[in-house]
Amino acid sequence: DVVVTQSPLSLSVTLGQPASISCRSSQSLVFTDGDTYLNWFHQRPGQSPRRLIYKVSNRDSGVPDRFSGSGSGTDFTLKISRVEAEDIGVYYCMHSIQWPWTFGQGTKVEIK
């Protein structure tokens, strides 16, 4: 199975400051079609998860442009350029290159 590992597992950020979360996979997430199947999700307390980024760097509809994804192969990063209060919660990376699709452990983001 492909394992995805996030770091850090918790992050305390000042409003307006940047934040960055790393995700590393145990093998390449490049599929035979040439796409890289690494997604990022955000889950606020008491809510369902919401996908923010798909295929490494594509923002889903309605996602603010302060969120960006980057990386390739086995190393990926989610960046928030300026953290806002609504960004609190848990962020998960997730691969879907082969079954089982798996999530990282989650990174809890809080405001200082």
Residues in 29-88 at the binding interface with another protein, rule: CB under 8 A: 33, 37, 39, 41, 43, 48-51, 54, 60
For 37, the token pair is: 């199947």
21 forms bridges with which residues in the sheet? 78
Q: How many residues bind another protein (CB under 8 A)?
A: 22
Helix, strand, coil shares, percent, the chain, to 5: 5, 50, 45
Among 2, 4, 94, 109, binds another protein (CB under 8 A): 94
Length of the chain: 112
Q: How far is CA 9 from the centre of its chain?
A: 12
Work out how close the CB of 17 gets to another protein at its nearest, in angstroms, rounded to a whole number: 26
Work out how close the CB of 52 gets to another protein at its nearest, in angstroms, rounded to a whole number: 10
**Contact status: 11 vs another protein (CB under 8 A):** no
Report the SS3 class of residue 32: coil
Q: Applying CB under 8 A, which residues contact another protein? A: 33, 37, 39, 41, 43, 48-51, 54, 60, 92, 94, 96, 99-106
